[in-house]
Amino acid sequence: MKLADFVVPGAILPNITSTDRNGVIRDLVTALADAGELATEDVEVIAKAAIQRENQGSTGFGKGVAVPHVKHAKIPRIMAAIGRSAAGVDFAALDRSPVYTVVMLLSPPDQPEAHLQAMERIFSHLQRDQFRRFLRQAETVEAVLDLIREADEAPAG
């Protein structure tokens, strides 16, 4: 599975202006709806489910990155949105540092294996310092897409 298989180009937000965790989550879910991947009327229920999941334990794993994720019946397929905050957002990250890059993963509940594969793919790239640094510096949708293409073409490991 490649990042390009589930990252929605129309849901890449290189300049998120929300200043809190819940706002960022809502922005990313809304971006997926705006890209035609989710029904507009489902945005709030999916955002609430993601926020509820986040309240159970932060997905801010440190190094300026968070990967909020949720499984919900209103989600038709595995999809991800990416947001970048120049100012940083408090995600209650493990290292207590602000989060600058958020990868929001949404999955239908009947695809647990694919959900895990997507999470593994996201984390394997986010563990790499260079990928994280370039993603944090990417100021345009095209820059993020180029980075995803390069990451997908790189040998695994």
Q: Per residue in 106-151, pLDDT tens? A: 999 999 999 999 999 999 999 999 999 999 999 999 999 999 999 9
11-59 pLDDT, tens digit each: 999 999 999 999 999 999 999 999 999 999 999 999 999 999 999 988 8
Tokens of 62: 């440190």
CA distance 84 to 147: 14
| 157 pLDDT above the threshold of 70 | no
Task: Tell me the fold of 3-153.
Answer: Mannitol-specific EII; Chain A (3.40.930)
| Secondary structure element (H or E) that encloses residue 118, with its range | helix 112-126
CA distance 51 to 33: 17
Q: Residue 33 — φ and ψ, nearest 5°?
A: -70, -45
| Per-residue pLDDT, 93 | 87
0.85 exceeded by the pTM?
yes
| Per-residue pLDDT, 156 | 59
| Secondary structure element (H or E) that encloses residue 43, with its range | helix 43-56
Contact 24, 89 (CB under 8 A): yes
